[in-house]
């Protein structure tokens, strides 16, 4: 697939256009990536497709090879892998806090101590997630803007 | 956990244990044999004990993240091993009167108290770190929140 970037004048509507013979999984992935960069993620719940705002996601967890997005009240499944989401959402204040979890730093209420050099992040939704000791250093750096 | 970080944590624990064992030896010695006098080699006793007591803590090493339940089980195992190490030291030491139940019970009790105190200190240290992280988090959120 050829990639062309065209500069337009100020005031013109910006658009990402994908011209393809068939809407394949690859095309959907590209479209989803563009949407995620703009602040929304494609996901499913009960076989229905949804677009949810990245800012509504509290945390993302990978369980048995599947990736789930947790909002305040709902759980969605997404086709993305956790490492893909980590890369895509690092500018949206998401941080990896364990091997299988990303958390939205803006959704954390407070941080509490846990056993063995680990911490517990208490989310605004009331849920608690473990911050692995391996990722505490990265958390400190992220909070200091490093 | 990186092995380097694990070793640094163990070094911190070693110094904490050395200090607390010195205090325990002073209190037990004053209570049971206050007239005893020792040579300079006695100064190494708390260090040797701390080094021996550090060995059971190696059961906490894991490359993978332990669940809270696994941590509790391993901590219980560590306490049992610590008691075993202390009893081994007591029964192989010529200066400790292992014929007295009172002495044995005091030793076992001392290990339990030190174990609880060390874990309490570690918890307080983690609590202070968590408070600082919460403050940094609040500042981060204030800086990045939508207008």
Measured between alpha carbons, how far is residue A135 from residues A49, A103, A119, A131, B83 in Å? 32, 12, 10, 7, 33
Which residues from B are below 8 Å from A when comparing CB atoms?
A: 1-2, 5, 9, 60, 65-66, 68, 71-72, 75, 123, 126-127, 129-130, 133-134, 136-137, 139-141, 143-146
Cα(A121)–Cα(A15) distance, integer angstroms: 39
Statement: residue B140 has pLDDT above 80: yes
How close, in Å, is residue A137 to chain B by CA atoms? 11
pLDDT digits (tens, 9 = 90+) for A19-69: 999 988 888 888 877 776 767 888 999 989 988 989 899 999 999 999 999
Q: What is the pLDDT of residue A108?
A: 96
DSSP secondary structure string for all residues of A62-83: EETTEEEEE-SS-EEEESS-HH
Mutate to test the interface with A, among B64, B130, B132, B138 (most CBs of A within 10 A): B130
Statement: residue B136 has pLDDT above 90: yes
Q: What is the pLDDT of residue B146?
A: 64
Packed helices B68-92 and B45-54: angle between N→C axes, nearest 10 degrees: 140
Looking at the partner chain, which of A116, A119, A140 has a beta carbon nearest the beta carbon of B71? A116
Mean pLDDT of B65-86: 86
pLDDT digits (tens, 9 = 90+) for A115-137: 777 899 999 999 999 998 889 99
Mean pLDDT of A84-89: 90
pLDDT digits (tens, 9 = 90+) for B4-20: 878 888 899 899 989 99
Statement: residue B115 has pLDDT above 80: yes
Q: What is the pLDDT of residue B1?
A: 58
User: Could you tell me the domains of chain A?
Assistant: 28-143 (2.40.50.1020)
Note whether B133 contacts A143, CB cutoff 8 Å.
yes
Mean pLDDT of A16-20: 89
Mean pLDDT of B79-88: 90
Domain ranges of chain B: 3-144
Q: What is the pLDDT of residue B147?
A: 58
Please report the ipTM that was assigned to this predicted complex.
0.76
Sign of the dihedral defined by the CA atoms of residues A109, A114, A119, A121, in that order = negative
């Amino acid at each position: 697939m050829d990639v062309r970037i065209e500069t337009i004048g100020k005031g013109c509507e910006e658009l990402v256009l994908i011209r393809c013979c068939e809407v394949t999984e690859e095309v959907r992935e590209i479209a989803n990536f563009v949407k995620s960069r703009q602040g929304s993620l494609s996901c499913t719940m009960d076989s229905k497709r949804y677009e949810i705002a990245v800012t509504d996601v509290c945390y993302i967890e990978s369980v048995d090879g599947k990736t789930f997005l947790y909002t305040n009240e709902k759980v969605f499944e997404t086709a993305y892998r956790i490492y893909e989401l980590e890369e895509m959402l690092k500018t949206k204040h998401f941080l990896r806090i364990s091997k299988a979890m990303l958390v939205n730093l803006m959704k954390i209420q407070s941080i509490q101590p846990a056993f063995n050099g680990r911490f517990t992040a208490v989310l605004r939704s009331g849920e608690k997630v473990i911050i692995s000791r391996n990722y505490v250093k990265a958390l400190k750096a992220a909070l200091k803007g490093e | 956990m990186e092995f380097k970080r694990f070793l640094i944590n163990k070094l911190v624990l070693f110094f904490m244990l050395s200090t607390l064992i010195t205090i325990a030896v002073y209190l037990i010695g004053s209570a049971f044999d206050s007239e005893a006098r020792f040579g300079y080699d006695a100064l190494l006793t708390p260090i040797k004990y701390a080094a021996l007591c550090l060995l059971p803590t190696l059961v906490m090493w894991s490359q993978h993240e332990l669940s809270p339940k696994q941590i509790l089980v391993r901590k219980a195992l560590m306490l049992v091993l610590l008691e075993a190490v202390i009893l081994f030291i007591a029964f192989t030491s010529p200066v400790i009167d292992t014929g007295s139940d009172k002495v044995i019970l005091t030793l076992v009790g001392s290990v339990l108290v030190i174990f609880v105190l060390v874990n309490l200190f570690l918890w307080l240290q983690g609590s202070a770190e968590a408070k600082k992280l919460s403050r940094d988090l609040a500042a981060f959120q204030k800086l990045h929140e939508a207008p």
